[in-house]
Amino acid sequence: MQRFVTIRTCYKPLPVSDTEQQLYEVVAAEAAARQAPVYVVGGHVRDKLLQRDSKDIDFTVVGNGLALAEAVGQKLQTPVTVFKNFGTARLQYHDFAVEFVGARRESYRPASRKPEVQAGTLLDDLARRDFTINALAVSLNADDYGMLLDAFDGLGDLERRLLRTPLEPELTFSDDPLRMLRAVRFAAQLDFAVVPEARMAMRQHAERLRIVSIERITDELNKMLMTDRPSIAFDLMFKTDLLREVLPELVLLYGVEHVEGKGHKDNFYHTLQVLDQVAKRSDDLWLRWAALLHDIAKYDTKRFEKGKGWTFHGHEVVGARKVETIFRRLHLPLQEPMKRVQKLVLLHLRPIALSKEEVTDSAIRRLLFEAGDDLEALMTLCESDITSKNEKKVKKYLENFRLVRSKLIEVEERDRIRNWQPPISGEVIMRTFAKPPGREIGIIKEAIREAILEGRIRNTYDDAYAFMLEKAAELGWHPVTKN
């Protein structure tokens, strides 16, 4: 079908840095020497036209892309990495990541199910790309150097802010189903709309995401989360049923149930609002994950209690457990990042509780101790968790949080609880009573910690030591060494 498409061309002066210019000159000269037409294609052209910064430059060569890459690498005296299976070659030139590939006829992604990729024309290659705005090319060839080649009205779509596939959406998406998530990500990143026929195809073929590797999916999710308004992406995934494939737990939060005339809020849209509010305040990816998952167990814990209305008791505890299930499934990092997200989900109600009641020093100390280095992130999450439409209420809550914050600072300055370790360690306990590691050691250690956090004893070695002797005596233990 694409055989009948004519490539519209125009000159669009695009700003090019000196480094890029040097690179283009070398590439153009080497390509001319090999009589292999070469073009700058894809995201770099799109981003230039949108005046967005781009450090990735992709070249498509009508001919041997790998040979051209080697020649350019030699000229620029920079090593070239060849990915034979993919038919691509990469090099680094100053801060640009540069990739070369030969124009292809079949599916753009040889790594998918079609390993044999046939050489094709530039038009073949552009047609098998994901979106028209990514199918623009700039010629580096003598007869039309600098000409912008636009076979699928990508320029028009850039102006209209539309994501459209160059071919039938079904075909483009079946070449690589990840493109459905790329559509969502670009919609959020660029604030573009996906054309209705592509949206329809996404809904119809959402299940095809199952053949895509989880790492590629997660990479897109992270990119969505890092946009200025991640809600655009998650709402679009919800409406196209893609969310059911990647994060079904979130879909369950959608909707409002009424009993005895009482409804609860829609926890899906509440979550998206919290996420956007966090995104405005912080670009910490894991804090954004925490925002996305902070109410994830509200579906599981929802009850209607007579006289009380809707409750979600323990959703923070169940939610923290679900974080692990989700992180495992999505192959997200299980160490530090997951622990942080779990901690934020688990503690997300604490500052709110503190802002409502008379705050005691011990409650503040406890929060400082439990949140540790994540206290600032936790406060950001909580402030973002206020989504009331009533401005007066919002003002009041935020004012309460300011009080909690100043109290936190005051207590921290006095007691230094953040990153604090109780003055008596497990080793000291074992040595003092000549006992092996065991449950009792933990009990004594915890009792000391609690006593200090509650303010019953001072945070000193001597007080803690005396308290330890007391506790151990209750177990019938006596010290064998002196302090």
Residues contributing to the site for ligand CTP (CB under 6 A): 42-43, 56, 58, 108-109, 129-130, 134, 176, 178-179, 182
In the complex, the smallest distance separating the C-beta of residue 329 from ligand CTP, rounded to whole angstroms, is 22
The answer to whether 325 and 332 are in contact (CB under 8 A) is: no
Query: Residue 417: is it exposed, middle or buried by C-beta count within 10 angstroms (0-12/13-18/19+)?
Result: buried
CB-wise, 57 or 464, nearer to ligand CTP? 57
Contacting residues for 18 by C-beta, under 8 A, at least 6 apart = none
Question: Strand 162-163 relative to strand 193-194: parallel, antiparallel, unpaired?
Answer: parallel
Phi, psi of 7 (to 5 degrees): -85, 120
DSSP 369-427: HHHGGGHHHHHHHHHHT---S-HHHHHHHHHHHHHHHHHHHHHHHHH--TT---SS-HH
Longest distance between any two alpha carbons in the chain, whole Å: 95
Residue 128 or residue 315: which is nearer to ligand CTP going by CB? 128
State whether residue 131 is helix, strand or coil: coil
Shortest Å distance, C-beta 391 to ligand CTP:
37
Quick one: 188 or 377, whose CB is closer to ligand CTP? Answer: 188
Tell me the closest approach of the beta carbon of residue 12 to ligand CTP, in angstroms.
17
Rounded CA-CA distance 269/192 in Å is 20
Coil, helix or strand at residue 99:
strand
Helix (H) or strand (E) run with residue 218 in it: helix 214-225
The nearer residue to ligand CTP, 43 or 63, going by C-beta atoms, is: 43
Nearer to ligand CTP, 42 or 102 (CB): 42
Torsion angle defined by CA atoms of residues 194, 200, 203 and 207, in that order, rounded to the nearest 10 degrees: -100
In this chain, which residue has its C-beta nearest to ligand CTP? Answer: 43
For residues 176 and 374, which CB has a smaller minimum distance to ligand CTP in the complex? 176
Nearest distance, CB of residue 58 and ligand CTP, angstroms: 5
| Closer by beta carbon to ligand CTP, 88 or else 355 | 88
Distance in Å, CB of 69 to ligand CTP, minimum: 16
Please report how close the Cβ of residue 99 comes to ligand CTP at its closest, in angstroms: 8
Q: What's the start-to-end Cα distance of the chain, in Å?
A: 87
For 57-78, letters b (16+ CB in 10 Å) and e give: bbbbbbebbbbbbbbbbeebee
Q: How far is the CB of 109 from ligand CTP (least distance, A)?
A: 6
Q: How far is the CB of 35 from ligand CTP (least distance, A)?
A: 25
Query: With respect to ligand CTP, which residue has the nearer C-beta, 127 or 371?
Result: 127
